[in-house]
Structure 1
Amino acid sequence: MVRREALKEQFSLLGVNNVSEEVIDKCAEICISNGIDEEELVEVWMAFSVSHLRGADPTLDTLVQMERREFSKKQELQPQPQKQSTRSQENSLVIYLGKESTEPDDGDDILDAYSSTPKAKNRDGKKDEHTPDAGPGRGRSPRAIFSPASFSPTAATPSSKYRARTNKGDAVCVYGEKCETDWHPQNSHFQPLVQLASSHMQANTCFMFNQMRDMAQVLNETVHHVGQMILKKFALQEPQAINQPHQNQFVGVGRVCCDSNGRLNAKSLILESFSGKTVPMDVSQVESFSLFPGQVIAVEGENPLGSKLSAKQIYTDTSLPLPQRPSLSSEENGPIQIVVAAGPFTQSDTLTYQPLEDLVEYIQEHSPHLVILIGPFIDATHPHVIEGILAETFQAFFERIVDGIMQPLETLNTQVLMIPSWRDAHHHAVYPVLPFVLRKQYAKLILAPDPCVVDIHGLVIGATSTDILLHLGKEEIFQVQLSLDRLGRIAGHILSQQSFYPLYPPAEEMNLDLELWANYAVLEVTPHILILPSDLRCFVKNLNGCVIVNPERLAKGLVGGNFARLEVSCAKGDVNVNAQIVKI
């Protein structure tokens, strides 16, 4: 017997509310005449509605159309199968797939739009809508492009907050003199040569096989190398033992440490020399300083008893010179257009990757020369990933994401540089991060490690996915009288310490391979452009000729985030950068 309350409950489960009594009566009639229960009827209706009516609610006319199209076809083509019991269906394992919202042929069985074991179900009940402003002819559902197979419909449910945004395309940060840039390349046929640094990390590099003595040697060599550069730059005298008594003022070199497992403060400062000797350090007489654990410094001070170093002056800057002038000429090929976006690429309540799809559409429209995508692509901290609702491997899902990015760009001259993150669920959770490995090859895709340095006809760009700005901001102690803002001061530590990640010990959630860090996370020159994605406020700043860009994240919580677009021109060897950070 068909129950009206059961029909309303099944519609409600799929998000269809306020169904009229006439519609319920018609549904009950269809169930009786075709020998099906309430659950199967509502499933067939949802499949029919999504494929033919774009998710419209049921009416008497549309129910008649569905009955004529679906049940009459079943009766003609095959005998009525024995119905599976409701209890058996409830105990079956259902897999939800995001499919394209294209119109099927007349001969297609409407239930082929789903995949399940033993039968597909769609529990989200949402309209298969496109992201706002999706161009005609390219309106594929976000679920069809990037969504994974999952055991829950919530993974493929588009975010309503993202669709309701009103600030799409707004520039939240502008840098450079030429603010009227239209952000279309003057020469879209020009394809610059993008090369990774010759010493970049390979995909087959071994990692996390560090012995204690090797790790200690790496730290000591870093203190010695950076310390010697500080002494040379500021013409300081030869350093002396920091833990020995000195009657006169002397120079000491060492690494900043904390005397406990807590946060660094002025009372817990310790200086450790390259020989491993340590001494407490008093900075109360230093007028200006900015210190963090792992920082290599030179100190002028006194230590009359050998038990405490009283600092008078602290030196930290070992910034390297800029590279040679680029051979790239904007007079011949025009400026280079670059788009930069950092993950996460989907909101925290869904895996539809709507911001990433909008970014791909932006790239199709503007055809930049280079797109830099920085992980995480499948964020290991995403709630759906933690819950384990994906019904496919992380690697298979990631390869579909890459394919969804590269296929629409096949006809463009745009090159894509993809940088991994230690937060990628399908990749190695270690820093530095090895480059991705894909089974399918793409001609215009460059797989880089993290961190990485790329060379574009002499234009040097450095990038890392790790939120070093946030990590340094949590650990830094400072007493600054200069006018430099906090974000600029923190970013300056990367240049002054010649390292993409100068903090040691690293953040608790990170796995740092010290030997790889010493080989692949150091700066050999000051890059023209340095990309440092962070959860901190976005900015574009010029520090001693290096343009530092923090585009934030493409997705931030339940809403969309930002991406950066840069126009780089080179005239007579001088590099000029115009940049905007834009809401997705």
Structure 2
Amino acid sequence: MATDEEIKREFNRSGFALVEEEEILERCVTLCINYSLKPSELVSSWELYHLNRQIIDQTVKKDEMDGFLLHLQNQQRESIMKEEAGLHIYSNRDVDMILDGIPEDTTEETVTTPTNNSQRLHPDPFDSINRSKDYGYSTGKSAGHVTPFARRIDKFVVKFNIGNNVEAQAENGHNNDVESSEDDMIIQRVQTSHRCSLKVNGSGPEAGCRFMYDRTEDRFNALENRIIRHADAFAASGLYDEQVDPAVASQRSIFAVGMICCDGEGHLNDKSILLQSSAERTSGQRVPLDLNRLNQFSIFPGQIVGIEGQNPSGHYFTASKLVDSVPLTVTTDVDLPPAKKQNLDQEVLPLADESREKTDVSFIVASGPFTTTDNLLFEPLNELLAYAKRKPPQLLVLLGPFVDSEHPEIKKGAVDATFNEIFHVEVLRKLQDYVEFMGSEVRVVLVPSIRDANHDFIFPQPPFNIHIPDLEHQMTSLSNPGTFEANQVKVGCCTVDVLKHLSGEEMSKNPSGATTDRMSRLASHLLRQRSFYPLYPPPESLPYDSTLAPKALQISSIPDILLLPSDMRYFVKVLSLGEGEDAVKCVCVNPGRLAKGEGAGTFVELSYKGGPESMHASIISI
């Protein structure tokens, strides 16, 4: 049974202060009993509730507990529905139908498999509903069925704006241009002003690569090389003393570089923090780390840090200063092997337009799922492409999952087509129609997800193997994570929910009374650690490959734009590394999910003109 002291301790570890302590703790004990939660699980749920509400104040108040109760009830309900959705009992009639090819009784409104192969492979590309019925994607619903997504009232509502732009819509305002033309039978073709250049920096795994062969030695070497690389960067900066083994007893103040680890399973706490140094440069031993003297820090397992402090006994390293950011150095993508670079734009830009073309680029960024959970009609994707036709960007960036392995119908196997067929017909063919309709001025970038049922379940992940004649320069697939340059604007993206993973493992301490933006802090960890996924060990659900990770996850230079889709609340934030004039800025974007359950989600429309100061971004509900 959870006690007041345990719950209070967990809140304090996560950096939350209790305003009305006695009443809140009594309420929390009741919640733990009613919902069978451990104190750590209760606080983790509170953190998610706190982040979704975008509450800046790191306090727990009594008047917020009713909303938190509803949040727990929704979590419980979703968990029960998820378990029931995966249950399917087959009858003898099901088996007979499969063996004998007997169609089901049409009175039960269950879709049958088409007998005409040409109908399967070449459906009408503009008839989404009929195609879904023919393929069995519509989960047994008739073509005339109006889905909850189609019944939504507020369409293309601007949820959030950042930056100054004369075309910016007011918060919660409507895009009248889209609304007024939504029901038009003929969409007027609008051309983008300029075609953007595109260069893929291919440091990720290639299609068809070998994976799932990593050994214990590979995992050790990957961690060892990462510690050494960071230690060399600290030494090259000239800002710190010579590095010393933190496990060796010393009466003087020393400087050491190592990786944050947890002593055992569970979350980090004051008593479980360890520092692991390099086995090649030092002893490689893990030494307990005391951070009580610090008034501010943010750590997580796998983080490489520089520590100033003392270890007089040789058993405990007491820190007086913690440096969690690798010193900024001049690192360019030229360091990558030439074979790993692929220039997708062969045209030579006129000299007169060169300066403007380098910095001016417009994006629409959306993250999957691209269909609602009640069907496989891909209605949100259709709406997004219709919007992109009316307000065409230079670059349409789509982040997976596309054929979501977590979709109820995919999990139950209730479709009569392969995952590749669904991907090619419902996604690629629609994108091909979009590109052909808009002309050569637009480009599409696709990034896979480990949740894609039609792709390799591995991280880092190779790109989709897409080969469409005459459109290879307009439709491009990246690895996950991946980086590219559009008009020399550097963009990095990763579809693994690293923000959510870091949120569950991070331990932080802030000065009393100080308010911090936690989402900015979580996103900054990637830039400070120069890694798309700095957390180690990764969750069991992540198929992490230590042989592919070292090169693929490394951020060689700070990108101008960082795309991090997450289940957490959407945002557009400007991150800053360094101080003063030497500070490097990066725009971090979480577009949210295009589809949420049976309803609509969000996407981002972004115009980048030279830097964050002249950028404009809008988060739009579809």
Q: Same fold (TM over 0.5)?
A: yes
Paired with 2:142 and 2:257, the residues of 1 have a C-alpha distance of 53
User: Which residue pairs with 2:224 in the alignment?
Assistant: 220
Q: 1:547: Cα distance to partner?
A: 0.5
Q: Could you say if the C-alpha distance between residues 147 and 517 of structure 1 is closer, same or farther in structure 2, counting changes exceeding 3 Å?
A: farther
2:149 pairs with 150, 162, 178, which one? 162
Q: 1:288: Cα distance to partner?
A: 0.5
Paired with 1:164 and 1:485, the residues of 2 have a C-alpha distance of 36
**Is 1:272 aligned with 2:276?**
yes
2:506 pairs with 460, 476, 486, which one? 476
Paired with 1:147 and 1:472, the residues of 2 have a C-alpha distance of 43
Q: 1:514: Cα distance to partner?
A: 1.6
Q: What SS class does the counterpart of residue 372 from structure 1 fall into?
A: strand
What's the CA shift string for 1:367-412, capped at 9, x where partnerless?
2111000001111122211111121111121111211222133121
Paired with 1:167 and 1:530, the residues of 2 have a C-alpha distance of 29
Paired with 1:421 and 1:446, the residues of 2 have a C-alpha distance of 15
AA partner of residue 569 (structure 1): K
What's the CA shift string for 1:504-538, capped at 9, x where partnerless?
11122101112211111111110111111111111
User: Which residue pairs with 1:445 in the alignment?
Assistant: 475
Contact 2:332–2:557 (CA<8 Å) still a contact in 1?
no
Q: How many residues align?
A: 466
User: Which residue pairs with 2:3 in the alignment?
Assistant: none
Q: What SS class does the counterpart of residue 382 from structure 2 fall into?
A: helix
2:600 pairs with 555, 560, 565, which one? 560
**Is 1:386 aligned with 2:411?**
yes
**Is 1:255 aligned with 2:259?**
yes
TM-score normalized by structure 2? 0.69
User: Which residue pairs with 1:56 in the alignment?
Assistant: none
2:564 pairs with 510, 524, 532, which one? 532
Identity %: 29
Q: Could you say if the C-alpha distance between residues 288 and 153 of structure 1 is closer, same or farther in structure 2, counting changes exceeding 3 Å?
A: same
Q: What SS class does the counterpart of residue 449 from structure 1 fall into?
A: coil
AA partner of residue 621 (structure 2): K
Paired with 2:261 and 2:360, the residues of 1 have a C-alpha distance of 45
AA partner of residue 618 (structure 2): Q
Q: 1:167: Cα distance to partner?
A: 2.6
User: Which residue pairs with 1:311 in the alignment?
Assistant: 319
Paired with 1:554 and 1:147, the residues of 2 have a C-alpha distance of 25
Give 5+ residue unaligned stretches, structure 1. 1-86, 96-115, 127-137
Paired with 2:140 and 2:607, the residues of 1 have a C-alpha distance of 41
Q: What SS class does the counterpart of residue 614 from structure 2 fall into?
A: strand
User: Which residue pairs with 1:496 in the alignment?
Assistant: 528
Paired with 2:223 and 2:92, the residues of 1 have a C-alpha distance of 62
User: Which residue pairs with 2:437 in the alignment?
Assistant: 411
Question: 1:273-292 alignment to 2 at 5 Å?
Answer: 273-275=277-279, 276-292=284-300
AA partner of residue 278 (structure 2): F
User: Which residue pairs with 2:392 in the alignment?
Assistant: 367
Give 5+ residue unaligned stretches, structure 2. 1-90, 112-124, 170-174, 178-188, 334-348, 577-584
Paired with 1:469 and 1:151, the residues of 2 have a C-alpha distance of 33
Contact 1:344–1:554 (CA<8 Å) still a contact in 2?
yes
2:548 pairs with 513, 516, 527, which one? 516
Q: Could you say if the C-alpha distance between residues 332 and 455 of structure 1 is closer, same or farther in structure 2, counting changes exceeding 3 Å?
A: closer
Paired with 1:228 and 1:324, the residues of 2 have a C-alpha distance of 17
Q: What SS class does the counterpart of residue 407 from structure 1 fall into?
A: helix
Q: What SS class does the counterpart of residue 219 from structure 1 fall into?
A: helix
Q: Could you say if the C-alpha distance between residues 507 and 119 of structure 1 is closer, same or farther in structure 2, counting changes exceeding 3 Å?
A: closer
Contact 2:133–2:142 (CA<8 Å) still a contact in 1?
no
1:194 pairs with 190, 195, 198, which one? 198
Contact 1:143–1:352 (CA<8 Å) still a contact in 2?
no
Q: What SS class does the counterpart of residue 326 from structure 2 fall into?
A: coil
Q: 1:344: Cα distance to partner?
A: 1.0
Contact 2:234–2:327 (CA<8 Å) still a contact in 1?
no
User: Which residue pairs with 1:583 in the alignment?
Assistant: 621
TM-score normalized by structure 1? 0.73
Contact 2:563–2:590 (CA<8 Å) still a contact in 1?
yes
Contact 2:202–2:482 (CA<8 Å) still a contact in 1?
no
Q: 1:467: Cα distance to partner?
A: 0.7
AA partner of residue 416 (structure 1): V
Q: Could you say if the C-alpha distance between residues 354 and 574 of structure 1 is closer, same or farther in structure 2, counting changes exceeding 3 Å?
A: closer
Q: Could you say if the C-alpha distance between residues 506 and 407 of structure 1 is closer, same or farther in structure 2, counting changes exceeding 3 Å?
A: same
Q: Could you say if the C-alpha distance between residues 232 and 372 of structure 1 is closer, same or farther in structure 2, counting changes exceeding 3 Å?
A: same
Q: 1:306: Cα distance to partner?
A: 1.0
Q: Could you say if the C-alpha distance between residues 485 and 575 of structure 1 is closer, same or farther in structure 2, counting changes exceeding 3 Å?
A: closer
Q: 1:247: Cα distance to partner?
A: 1.1
Paired with 1:577 and 1:392, the residues of 2 have a C-alpha distance of 43
Contact 1:146–1:353 (CA<8 Å) still a contact in 2?
no
Q: What SS class does the counterpart of residue 490 from structure 2 fall into?
A: strand
Q: Could you say if the C-alpha distance between residues 94 and 468 of structure 1 is closer, same or farther in structure 2, counting changes exceeding 3 Å?
A: same
AA partner of residue 205 (structure 2): M
Higher CA-based Rg: 1
Contact 1:343–1:374 (CA<8 Å) still a contact in 2?
yes
Q: Could you say if the C-alpha distance between residues 485 and 273 of structure 1 is closer, same or farther in structure 2, counting changes exceeding 3 Å?
A: same
Contact 1:321–1:526 (CA<8 Å) still a contact in 2?
no
AA partner of residue 405 (structure 2): A
Q: Could you say if the C-alpha distance between residues 582 and 150 of structure 1 is closer, same or farther in structure 2, counting changes exceeding 3 Å?
A: closer
Contact 2:331–2:557 (CA<8 Å) still a contact in 1?
yes
Contact 1:187–1:333 (CA<8 Å) still a contact in 2?
no
Paired with 1:88 and 1:324, the residues of 2 have a C-alpha distance of 63
What's the CA shift string for 1:27-49, capped at 9, x where partnerless?
xxxxxxxxxxxxxxxxxxxxxxx
Question: 1:25-40 alignment to 2 at 5 Å?
Answer: none
Q: What SS class does the counterpart of residue 549 from structure 1 fall into?
A: strand
Query: Which stretch shows the higher mean deviation, 536-545 or 406-415?
Result: 406-415
Paired with 1:125 and 1:486, the residues of 2 have a C-alpha distance of 48
| Cα RMSD, aligned residues only | 3.4
AA partner of residue 601 (structure 2): G
Q: What SS class does the counterpart of residue 548 from structure 2 fall into?
A: helix
User: Which residue pairs with 2:56 in the alignment?
Assistant: none
Paired with 1:493 and 1:439, the residues of 2 have a C-alpha distance of 36
Q: 1:432: Cα distance to partner?
A: 0.6
Q: 1:159: Cα distance to partner?
A: 6.8
Query: Which stretch shows the higher mean deviation, 407-416 or 329-338?
Result: 329-338
User: Which residue pairs with 2:50 in the alignment?
Assistant: none
